[in-house]
Amino acid sequence: MKNKVSIIGAGMTGATTAHWLAEREVSDLVLVDVVEGMPQGKALDLQQALPVIGKDVKVIGSNDYASTAGSDIVIITAGLPRKPGMSRDDLLYANAEIVRKAAEETIRYSPDAIFIILTNPLDAMSYLAMKATGVAAHRVIGQAGILDSARMRAFVAMELGVSVENIHCYVLGGHGDEMVPLTRASNVAGVPLEDILTADRLEAIVDRTRKGGGEIVSLLKTGSAYYAPAVAIAQMVEAILKDKHLIVPASAYLQGEYGLTGLFFGVPVQLGRKGVEKVIEYKLSEAEMAALQKSAQGVAENIAKLK
């Protein structure tokens, strides 16, 4: 039987996720949105693109959660994006209602689904989705780390003129401006970034990575980034459905790892058919650990507000 993936919110990130996923041909797709006709129109358009690239994927658009029944994975992208000058945290209350409803509705129709959350503020929304669905923690994963790491990889590639394939970067922590790019662990073809770039250039890349989402928001003026967030979700979906045991940074529920408990937070996780198979604990320096703790404070404050 074919896999089924439902995407709640057929806006910029939701529709682009469907696009990247259809190219990978890993599942049939359902797009759900509150706007009448829009998910149906986008689904039909995408369906009509697939003969050109030879992919057999059924794409359905709907305003009704019943269409999501029996999903293997539910992706939640519904909610407001940032406007220029806003932080992701400014979206907390408005998006909490939307994510809660999406979680409650989808779990009814897909009791065995794994949930991938994209709506911001990401770590708090992942926590909310876990509570609203009542599923075990390993079945809820927030997308942020692949995106933040890819941004850093892109900036390093631009700086050095080296293939992106050679560049490995790891960004942990909450999905906000206090995120923690790990410059010691990041490398170009095995050589640590700290050995290649001057401290100044490295600091500039770290800073641009931390503010990477905001840079795009201020350029777009309406809405936030969608190509890179969406392809990051597609990678997670493929890793789960193919049971790849892929290690990526993502937001997972911590129960003592990195000295943190009771919050979703960006850490390296191993993804497979069960969802989060394992949280990987890196050996961090004192400075890295302190930066993570600082980032965790912001996430914990958001979660406290939700409670």
CA distance 33 to 62: 7
**Interaction with ligand APR in 94-123: which residues (CB under 6 A)?**
95, 98, 101-102, 118-120
Nearer to ligand APR, 4 or 291 (CB): 4
CA distance 85 to 124: 20
Q: How many of the other CB atoms lie within 10 Å of CB of 202? A: 18
Q: Which of 11, 145, 174, 272 touches ligand APR by CB under 6 A?
A: 11
> Does 29 interact with ligand APR (rule: CB under 6 A)?
no
Nearer to ligand APR, 226 or 265 (CB): 226
In the bound complex, what is the minimum distance in angstroms from residue 123's beta carbon to ligand APR?
12
> Does 223 interact with ligand APR (rule: CB under 6 A)?
yes
Q: Which of 27, 68, 77, 133 touches ligand APR by CB under 6 A?
A: 77
CA distance 298 to 124: 10
> Does 79 interact with ligand APR (rule: CB under 6 A)?
yes
In the bound complex, what is the minimum distance in angstroms from residue 275's beta carbon to ligand APR?
20
Stretch that binds ligand APR, among 12-20, 47-55, 188-196, 270-278 (CB under 6 A): 12-20
**Interaction with ligand APR in 122-181: which residues (CB under 6 A)?**
none
> Does 83 interact with ligand APR (rule: CB under 6 A)?
no
> Does 14 interact with ligand APR (rule: CB under 6 A)?
yes
CA distance 121 to 88: 5
Task: Report whether the peptide linkage leading into residue 181 is cis, meaning its omega lies within 30 degrees of zero.
Answer: no
> Does 78 interact with ligand APR (rule: CB under 6 A)?
yes
**Interaction with ligand APR in 32-51: which residues (CB under 6 A)?**
32-35
Nearer to ligand APR, 57 or 99 (CB): 99
Stretch that binds ligand APR, among 11-19, 170-178, 197-205, 243-251 (CB under 6 A): 11-19
- Give the interface size with ligand APR as a residue count (CB under 6 A): 29
Query: Catalytic annotation on 245?
Result: no
Residues engaged in binding ligand APR (CB under 6 A): 8-14, 32-35, 77-82, 91, 95, 98, 101-102, 118-120, 223-224, 226, 229
List the catalytic residues. 175
